[in-house]
Chains A and B, each alone.
Chain A
Amino acid sequence: MSLRRFILKRLLLVFPILFGVSVITFALVQLTPGDPVDVVVALNPDISPAEEARLRARYGLNDPIWSQYVQWLTDILRGDFGTVIATDRAVSTVIVERLPETIALGLFGWVFAVVIAIPTGIYAAVRKDELGDHVSRFVALSGISIPNFWLGLMLILIGALVIDAWPVLPPRKPLYHPATLWYLLLPGITIGTASASTLMRIMRSSMAEEMNKEYVTAARAKGLPERTVVLKHVLRNSLISVTTVAAFLTASIVAGSVVVEAVFGWPGLGQALVGAVRNREIDLILAITLFIGVAIILANLAADIMYAVLDPRIRYD
């Protein structure tokens, strides 16, 4: 199969996957006890049964579930993502407001992961089985094992309260303001740590594997300096797997934003999703979940394509 056909096939697969995501998400939301009107009633128990009935009718909550799903899907295809009932705002407006914040955080986390992982991975591979390698392994395993929320809380504790150098509250400055970088640091580190750790181990393994190959021995035999062997030959080949893994990690960064944004009060999609779940805002939950699903699928697709482009030996069926 040609690369073009492979990509086309993968693109076509996106649609049934998204359909599946939407069905599962919709079903899960329906299985959750309560709906937005329940929340309104819970918050305001003096609301009359007539008003409650009117609200349910207005938002179609009395319709059969399949009918609600079809209506929702139809609306989505028309570009209408629904309404946040509590604030009577369009879901699309909320997403447009929040998306840049999540992208900025994710991008920062991704860059942090790459910047930390590549040199550390190289170092660990070069110093294989030495103290530096052991330390890096310990750090990497810790980074993978520590839950995001705990790391975030610790960073707040240390960064804001012990060192007294970072703010606890999210910035009120525009994303493009230079000061935002400072605000991004702690949540960015939190969201990027697990990815950095994973990437570092992949980098280390990949490098170590490459360094055992014959062409490396040949290069060394030719008298090339070790620095040139490592950085020019080994690194380039090692980056194939690292690059694809990095793409995969984009997905985990997107998903991780839900927890990290909640911990840091970062005003992105993740925090909006947490609020939507709390308030049973069905349309918002569905839209953000779908959005995250799309991001993950596209990241995986990008990883596959990159893998195919970077390593022509790969065959696709």
Chain B
Amino acid sequence: MDNVPEDILPDALSRRRLMQSAAGIAAATVAGCQGDGGSGGSDGGSGSVDPVQDRVEVTPSEIQEGGTFRTAVGANPDTFEFAESSSAQATIMHNLIFEGLTTTSASGEIYSWLAESYERVDVQEASPADYTDYMTTAPYAEGEEGAVFIDTDEQIVLQDPDNPDSPSAGDEARILTVAEAPDAVADGTYGMHFRFQLHEGVPFHNGEEMTADNVVASYNRLQNSSFSGQVYDSLLHIAADGDYTVDLYVQTPDAAAIRELSDLPIYPSEITDNLELGQMDPRQGNMPLGTGPFQLAEFANEDFARFTKFEDHWFETGMKDWFDGPSEFPNGPVVDEVDISIISSDAQRSAALQNDEIDMAFGLTAGTLTNFQESEEYRTAPTNGAGYTFLQFPVRQEPWTNAKLRRAVNKLIPRQTISDEIFQGWEQPAWVPLPPLAAGAGSTDYDAMVEDLRSYNTYDTEEATQLAQEAVDELGIETPIEITLETNSDNDDRVRTVELIAESMNQTEFFDVTVNTKEFLTFISQLLSENYWQEGKLAFIGLSGGFNPHGYAKSVHHPDNFAQCCNFQNIDIQELNEQLREARYGVDVVEDPSLRAERYETVWETVLEQNANSYGTHSTLVGVVNDSVNGFNTYPSTQDIVGYAMYNAPDQQVTYLDQ
């Protein structure tokens, strides 16, 4: 997903990927660490490579305490109920209030957090078919647009793979729900088992002490929430064992499971026992409560949110074995308050920064960033982002069924020019589908891989012409091929990118491209419809992944993502599907990260060879701060841009203000 905050959809998915990314190290590494997940493992983070460019560090003795860190986000938080939230802007706020069992550094390494430690107890082969004996049934129903779905109010954990291939309304589906999952676990049917030992004495904002029951109740709160699909594609069952031990079971051996499941927010029983899902919001008369370093103090809908430091926050650096910083490093954020204005206009946020009404702005256009970069009064803090742009081909419509034609267009995308001219260097050409951010689990040697695969994506009109000619000859069609290239209109840089691509294509004799732009939600509604793939249009949009390499291929290729985000064109490449599965699922890749990385390298080559999607640029996320802000570094995902800057112990990250 795109990290550009103008895009609502990209933000939303970015959030999901962030949560996936912010949740633990690879299981194999866990085994190696024997229970303390923090010491350097990674499930996709580059490990030794810090994606934060020009990182600034602070000297603990110089840190000043107090003050209010002021920033602005582009949209009103939809809700403070994490499980019902769907926006990055909201998650920025949530991440100040809530914490999970693990936390993540900017390079994707996962560290135990509310959990004092965790371990992978075991991993074993298990597939959906193994759960058949525990399954129940529910009827299929048909939605308004003809989509058939399983009609039940129960939280579905798994579907039997032998369910009808093309179900009709009234057919019975066999499913495992949360009610039956414990039986399967009790009988030893599960893919993975993790055990978390919680820190004792962690207080919630209301004074209640966090226990294992709170963890279980918090995870259960996700049932049938908007967020549930992102959890129950992996989670099988969670249970407390005493006051401070939590057992978490995963459906199948999944190398990314811990990342997906270990950083979900934990709430006190005052929330889980008393409030319906969706009610944890000041607009419903209820303040959100967590264990986080900040509490929501004041919220004016559509206007601002003010957070104050939680004075009883539990964390001490000395609690964590993995903390290797100086003893005088603070045990939490040093600012007293975080004040977040809600300002939709980029220009207004930029002006507010210049007018000293806020201390940090992000989500600004490339030109604005360059202006700030050239000013001595501001510091631009860039980091490799998780976002990327891509052009998706209508692979099921002639003539785009021909891979050579798609590769020809791919060779006509002037990535370097786009990066240099439109993004003024703030975004990087996507020479490979995987950004450096996720290089850890997705490649054995990222630089070597880029070197090997770069030629697929270099601008080369001669080769493009040759490929296009071969495709046209094979298809026996006339040229120029008329095609519409679509993107969202509310992102100026993106529109200019698309116009440049269209111009490049039109300069050949093979294409006659018309650019069509639409307001984002209109565009995305059409993309997510089930018949967009039949319209034969090229779609250009942004997306964001995370530290887990899987999303960079699956989201835009896999049939599971058809009519969802973001396989709009009904792409279904059996070879790639299989390669994706083998790279993430199975005891072998869980236990051998290098094998997993090798398998992903195969994935990237197949992605480029098939070229159902052309990757355009990889994003850079930039927070711009004024000169009263010290120590600020930007997190690779928008969703933690404030929380990370305020305090992240693994990276010894803390921001303070000149008073």
Q: Are A and B a genuine interacting pair, yes or no?
A: yes
Tell me whether B355 and A160 are in contact (CB under 8 A). Answer: yes
In the complex, which residues 113-141 of chain A have their Cβ closer than 8 Å to any Cβ of chain B?
A: none
Chain A nearest CB: distance from B341 CB in Å? Answer: 5
A151 cross-chain contacts in B, Cβ below 8 A: none
Tell me whether B141 and A87 are in contact (CB under 8 A). Answer: no
Would you call B152 an interface residue if the criterion is a C-beta within 8 Å of the partner chain's C-beta atoms?
Answer: yes
Tell me whether B8 and A42 are in contact (CB under 8 A). Answer: yes
B343 cross-chain contacts in A, Cβ below 8 A: 169, 265
Q: Which residue of A41, A169, A274 is within 8 Å of B341 (Cβ)?
A: A169
Tell me whether A275 and B347 are in contact (CB under 8 A). Answer: no
Convert A59-95 into 0s and 1s, putting 1 for each residue whose CB lies closer than 8 angstroms to a CB of B.
0001000000000000000000000001111000000
B233 cross-chain contacts in A, Cβ below 8 A: 46
A44 cross-chain contacts in B, Cβ below 8 A: 12, 16, 86, 226-227, 229
Chain B nearest CB: distance from A105 CB in Å? Answer: 15
A278 cross-chain contacts in B, Cβ below 8 A: 521
Would you call B501 an interface residue if the criterion is a C-beta within 8 Å of the partner chain's C-beta atoms?
Answer: no
A47-B226, A49-B147 in contact; A88/B86 too (CB < 8 A)? no
CA distance A8 to B12 in the complex (A): 53
Tell me whether B144 and A50 are in contact (CB under 8 A). Answer: no
A86-B78, A160-B351, A271-B302 in contact; A46/B344 too (CB < 8 A)? no
Would you call B352 an interface residue if the criterion is a C-beta within 8 Å of the partner chain's C-beta atoms?
Answer: yes
Would you call B564 an interface residue if the criterion is a C-beta within 8 Å of the partner chain's C-beta atoms?
Answer: yes
Convert B333-345 into 0s and 1s, putting 1 for each residue whose CB lies closer than 8 angstroms to a CB of A.
0000000011111
Q: Which residue of A42, A51, A153, A169 is within 8 Å of B357 (Cβ)?
A: A169
Tell me whether A50 and B355 are in contact (CB under 8 A). Answer: no
In the complex, which residues 8-49 of chain B have their Cβ closer than 8 Å to any Cβ of chain A?
A: 8-9, 12-13, 16
Which of A31-39, A191-199, A201-209 lies on the face that meets chain B?
A31-39
CA distance A42 to B7 in the complex (A): 11
Which of B115-123, B182-190, B238-246, B523-531 lies on the face that meets chain A?
B523-531
Closest B residue to A161 by beta carbon equals B354
Convert B239-283 into 0s and 1s, putting 1 for each residue whose CB lies closer than 8 angstroms to a CB of A.
000000000000000000000000000000000000000100101
CA distance A29 to B625 in the complex (A): 41
CA distance A272 to B224 in the complex (A): 29
Chain A nearest CB: distance from B624 CB in Å? Answer: 15
Tell me whether A168 and B357 are in contact (CB under 8 A). Answer: yes
Tell me whether B348 and A156 are in contact (CB under 8 A). Answer: yes
Would you call B150 an interface residue if the criterion is a C-beta within 8 Å of the partner chain's C-beta atoms?
Answer: yes
Would you call B284 an interface residue if the criterion is a C-beta within 8 Å of the partner chain's C-beta atoms?
Answer: yes
B344 cross-chain contacts in A, Cβ below 8 A: 262, 265, 274-275
A42-B9, A160-B351 in contact; A56/B301 too (CB < 8 A)? no
CA distance A87 to B16 in the complex (A): 20
CA distance A46 to B260 in the complex (A): 14
Tell me whether B149 and A53 are in contact (CB under 8 A). Answer: yes
Tell me whether B525 and A45 are in contact (CB under 8 A). Answer: no
Chain B nearest CB: distance from A47 CB in Å? Answer: 6
Would you call B143 an interface residue if the criterion is a C-beta within 8 Å of the partner chain's C-beta atoms?
Answer: yes
Closest B residue to A160 by beta carbon equals B355
> Most chain-B CB neighbours within 10 Å: which of A51, A87, A161, A271?
A87
Convert B65-96 into 0s and 1s, putting 1 for each residue whose CB lies closer than 8 angstroms to a CB of A.
00000001000101100000011000000000
Closest B residue to A38 by beta carbon equals B525
CA distance A172 to B299 in the complex (A): 11
Would you call A263 an interface residue if the criterion is a C-beta within 8 Å of the partner chain's C-beta atoms?
Answer: yes
Would you call B230 an interface residue if the criterion is a C-beta within 8 Å of the partner chain's C-beta atoms?
Answer: yes
A170 cross-chain contacts in B, Cβ below 8 A: 303
Q: Which residue of B86, B358, B526 is within 8 Å of A43 (Cβ)?
A: B86
CA distance A279 to B75 in the complex (A): 11
Tell me whether A89 and B283 are in contact (CB under 8 A). Answer: yes
Would you call A256 an interface residue if the criterion is a C-beta within 8 Å of the partner chain's C-beta atoms?
Answer: no
Chain B nearest CB: distance from A83 CB in Å? Answer: 12
Would you call B300 an interface residue if the criterion is a C-beta within 8 Å of the partner chain's C-beta atoms?
Answer: yes
Chain A nearest CB: distance from B25 CB in Å? Answer: 24
Tell me whether B354 and A43 are in contact (CB under 8 A). Answer: no
Tell me whether A50 and B564 are in contact (CB under 8 A). Answer: no
B229 cross-chain contacts in A, Cβ below 8 A: 44, 46-48
> Most chain-A CB neighbours within 10 Å: which of B86, B224, B342?
B86
Closest A residue to B519 by beta carbon equals A278
Would you call B151 an interface residue if the criterion is a C-beta within 8 Å of the partner chain's C-beta atoms?
Answer: yes
Q: Which residue of A46, A97, A169 is within 8 Å of B352 (Cβ)?
A: A169
Tell me whether B302 and A275 are in contact (CB under 8 A). Answer: yes
Tell me whether A46 and B9 are in contact (CB under 8 A). Answer: no
Tell me whether A42 and B151 are in contact (CB under 8 A). Answer: no
A38 cross-chain contacts in B, Cβ below 8 A: 521, 525, 528
B152 cross-chain contacts in A, Cβ below 8 A: 50
CA distance A278 to B519 in the complex (A): 9
Chain A nearest CB: distance from B284 CB in Å? Answer: 7
CA distance A65 to B301 in the complex (A): 31
Tell me whether B355 and A87 are in contact (CB under 8 A). Answer: no
Would you call A167 an interface residue if the criterion is a C-beta within 8 Å of the partner chain's C-beta atoms?
Answer: yes
Closest A residue to B154 by beta carbon equals A50
Convert A271-299 into 0s and 1s, putting 1 for each residue whose CB lies closer than 8 angstroms to a CB of B.
11011001110000000000000000000
Closest B residue to A88 by beta carbon equals B278
Would you call B456 an interface residue if the criterion is a C-beta within 8 Å of the partner chain's C-beta atoms?
Answer: no
Tell me whether B355 and A168 are in contact (CB under 8 A). Answer: yes
Would you call A14 an interface residue if the criterion is a C-beta within 8 Å of the partner chain's C-beta atoms?
Answer: no
A264 cross-chain contacts in B, Cβ below 8 A: 348
Would you call B304 an interface residue if the criterion is a C-beta within 8 Å of the partner chain's C-beta atoms?
Answer: yes
Tell me whether A267 and B528 are in contact (CB under 8 A). Answer: no
Q: Which residue of A43, A157, A169 is within 8 Å of B12 (Cβ)?
A: A43
Chain A nearest CB: distance from B546 CB in Å? Answer: 14
CA distance A240 to B524 in the complex (A): 53
Give A residues with C-beta under 8 Å from B.
Answer: 32-34, 38-53, 56, 62, 86-89, 97, 153, 156-157, 160-161, 164, 167-170, 172, 262-265, 267, 271-272, 274-275, 278-280
Give B residues with C-beta under 8 Å from A.
Answer: 8-9, 12-13, 16, 72, 76, 78-79, 86-87, 141, 143-144, 147-152, 156, 224, 226-230, 233, 278, 281, 283-284, 300-304, 341-345, 347-348, 351-352, 354-355, 357-358, 521-522, 524-526, 528, 561, 564-566
- Sort A-B residue pairs by CB-CB distance and give the 4 closest, nearest first: A46-B229, A49-B149, A43-B86, A45-B565
What would be 28 A-B contacts, judged by CB atoms less than 8 Å apart?
Answer: A32-B522, A34-B522, A38-B521, A40-B86, A40-B226, A42-B8, A42-B521, A42-B565, A43-B8, A43-B87, A44-B12, A44-B16, A44-B226, A45-B12, A46-B228, A46-B564, A48-B228, A53-B141, A87-B281, A87-B283, A88-B283, A156-B347, A160-B354, A167-B355, A168-B355, A265-B348, A267-B302, A278-B521
